């Protein structure tokens, strides 16, 4: 256990951030993806078959849930010839916007969203995760934060809540969203 966690014991740590690789595993398991993956398959340079999360990442890729970042995008992600694989950044934290896209896609939510629909003040029409967030909000799977907090003014007439799509997602949030 960590600080304040006596041993023996299991601890979920619901307020800890969830990483992109952990998210891939949680969603792949929740969606019951059991596709066989060849042991030689490697989509991302930074998720080799020796990684404990490789199988889940490959299954999520196979179902079109996740993608990566092109090699050469920064000095720490070189293009390694001849495959020049993209990078997944498995240890980066997943954002609330990303979980909306990944979980909603895994659930098969693909219906069209009215171009005038906007549930959250900070997720306007046309933003990266707008469609995914709207699909999840319409079903009551996700919620937001009331306007009026620091940096989140209430804008009349809608006084929409805020979703905070770029905030890191926690283990507790992903558990709730995936279960719903």
Handedness of CA 40, 45, 47, 51 (dihedral sign): positive
Extract the tokens encoding 111. 């219906």
In the DSSP assignment, the letter for residue 85 is -
Residue appearing with tokens 């970042």: 69
Q: Alpha helix locations (H) across the chain?
A: 20-30, 54-62, 96-106, 130-138, 171-179
Provide the pLDDT for residue 26.
95
Provide the pLDDT for residue 9.
81
The answer to whether 41 touches 35, Cβ cutoff 8 Å, is no
Q: What is the pTM of this model?
A: 0.89
Provide the pLDDT for residue 144.
95
Provide the pLDDT for residue 2.
78
Residues lower than pLDDT 70 in the chain: none
pLDDT tens readout for residues 110-153: 999 999 999 999 999 999 999 999 999 999 999 999 999 999 99
* Whole-angstrom distance, CA of residue 48 vs CA of residue 46: 6
Residue appearing with tokens 């999360």: 53
User: SS3 of 16, please?
Assistant: coil
Provide the pLDDT for residue 19.
96
């Amino acid at each position: 256990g960590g600080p304040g966690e006596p041993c023996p014991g299991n601890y979920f740590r619901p307020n800890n951030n969830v990483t992109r690789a952990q998210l891939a595993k949680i969603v792949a398991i929740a969606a019951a993806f059991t596709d066989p993956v060849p042991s030689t398959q490697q989509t991302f340079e930074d998720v080799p078959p020796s990684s404990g999360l490789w199988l889940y990442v490959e299954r999520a890729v196979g179902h079109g849930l996740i993608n990566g970042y092109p090699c050469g995008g920064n000095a720490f992600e070189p293009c390694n010839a001849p495959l020049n694989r993209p990078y997944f950044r498995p240890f980066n934290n997943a954002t609330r916007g990303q979980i909306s896209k990944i979980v909603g896609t895994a659930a098969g939510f693909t219906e069209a969203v009215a171009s005038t629909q906007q549930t959250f003040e900070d997720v306007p029409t046309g933003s990266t995760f707008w469609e995914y967030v709207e699909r999840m909000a319409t079903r009551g799977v996700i919620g937001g934060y009331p306007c009026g907090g620091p940096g989140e003014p209430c804008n009349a007439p809608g006084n929409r809540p805020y979703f905070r799509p770029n905030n890191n997602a926690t283990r507790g949030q992903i558990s709730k969203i995936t279960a719903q």
